[in-house]
């Protein structure tokens, strides 16, 4: 607080030059207040935003059908077998490579 002179015979300080806070229209004396109704910002989950959009098997089949591409029965059987065995994505890729590898 700025040093001010008191009026003679009074406990009220004399008018002083306006403070920086009052010159800038800050009624609370320049103190920052927090509004509790505002939503908090989302925190990063550590995932990259470059992961893109993942299309599932049925969605990919629908898109392919529009383009005139259809799975052969052997491909459908291989996909069903991988699903029933619970293969990971890497194991499923290896099974596809094995099926198309030249003997």
56 and 83 Cβ atoms separated by less than 8 Å: no
Q: Kindly report whether the global pTM for this prediction surpasses the value 0.85.
A: no
φ, ψ at 6 (rounded to 5°): -90, 150
d(CA 8, CA 21): 27
Confidence (pLDDT) at 16: 54
Question: What is the per-residue pLDDT across 23-82, written as a single tens digit (0 to 9) for each?
Answer: 555 666 666 666 667 666 777 666 666 667 888 888 988 999 999 998 889 988 998 999
Confidence (pLDDT) at 77: 92
* In the chain, where the domains are located: 71-103
Confidence (pLDDT) at 55: 85
- For the CA atoms of the chain, what is the radius of gyration? 35
């Amino acid at each position: 607080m700025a040093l001010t002179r008191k009026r003679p015979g009074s406990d009220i300080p004399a008018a002083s030059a306006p403070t920086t806070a009052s010159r800038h229209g800050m009624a609370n004396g320049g103190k920052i207040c927090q509004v509790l109704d505002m939503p908090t910002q989302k925190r990063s989950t550590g995932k990259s935003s470059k992961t893109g959009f993942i299309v599932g098997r049925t969605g990919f089949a629908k898109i392919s059908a529009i383009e005139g591409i259809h799975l052969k029965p052997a491909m459908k059987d291989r996909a069903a077998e991988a699903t029933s065995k619970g293969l990971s994505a890497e194991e499923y890729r290896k099974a596809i490579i094995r099926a198309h590898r030249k003997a």
